[in-house]
Amino acid sequence: MRFMLLAFMVADAEAGACTPVDSCPKLSDGLYCPVNDVTEHADINRDVKLVKDYLAETPLNYAMAKQVYTAGNFSSKGLGNMRTLQDLAQKDMTVDGKYTNVFYSGAVSLYGSTNAVWHDYIIACLDGTGVCEGKTDSFRQYVINKGLIGVVTAYATYEFGAAVWKGENGETADGQAAYAWDEGAAFYIGNIDPV
């Protein structure tokens, strides 16, 4: 039923938010053609890679990795505001129960809070405190890198859930459900050339 709704929503979409229609940049897979320009959303994956690169330096550059996590680097929201991995990690991805996100809701139920799902582990490993106090660099690096992949994947599920909710509620314009779907694809696919 939901797939039929999504197919209808995409087929019945109004003129693309990009002008001219179909002129939005494709994501890095070269296949997904959004109706909204979500390039900046996809750039959050460049931040994940930048953190990984800082943690590959000798010695590991935790300070710069933390700076990217907390302040952002590539993914602009406009007007000088950056989208940050920390903001994504601390987001209530159900919007107080408005959207269905079984993956995220289950994680919050298991861990007890939004911060406990990703943020607490990532920040502890960046700082060498809490669960990462006294741990090796390779352990901390692993937790941070895998945690950030989890954050972005979780955020993609949030956007896809928002798209389904909006579609089910008749919000099918390009700037509504289609925009949320484009955002989900942007977070999932990213803007880093595949290797």
51, two tokens: 């953190």
Per-residue pLDDT, 195: 52
Query: Who has greater pLDDT, 73 or 31?
Result: 73
Q: What is the mean pLDDT of the chain?
A: 88
- Each domain of the chain, given as residue ranges in start order, spans 2-189
Q: Among 24-28, 126-130, 153-157, which stretch is predicted with the lowest mean pLDDT? A: 24-28
Can you spell out the DSSP letters for 103-166? HHHHHHHHHSSHHHHTHHHHHHHHHT-GGGTT--HHHHHHHHHHHHHHHHHHHHHHHHHHHHHH
- Nearest alpha carbon to residue 46 among 78, 87, 85: 85
pLDDT classification of 52: cutoffs 50, 70, 90: very high
Per-residue pLDDT tens digits for 67-114:
999 999 999 999 989 999 999 999 988 777 777 688 888 899 999 999
pLDDT at residue 7 tops 50: no
Whether 192 has a pLDDT exceeding 60, the answer reads yes
The predicted pLDDT at position 2 comes to 40
Q: How many Å apart are CA 87 and CA 159, to the nearest integer? A: 14
CA–centroid distance for 103 within its chain: 14
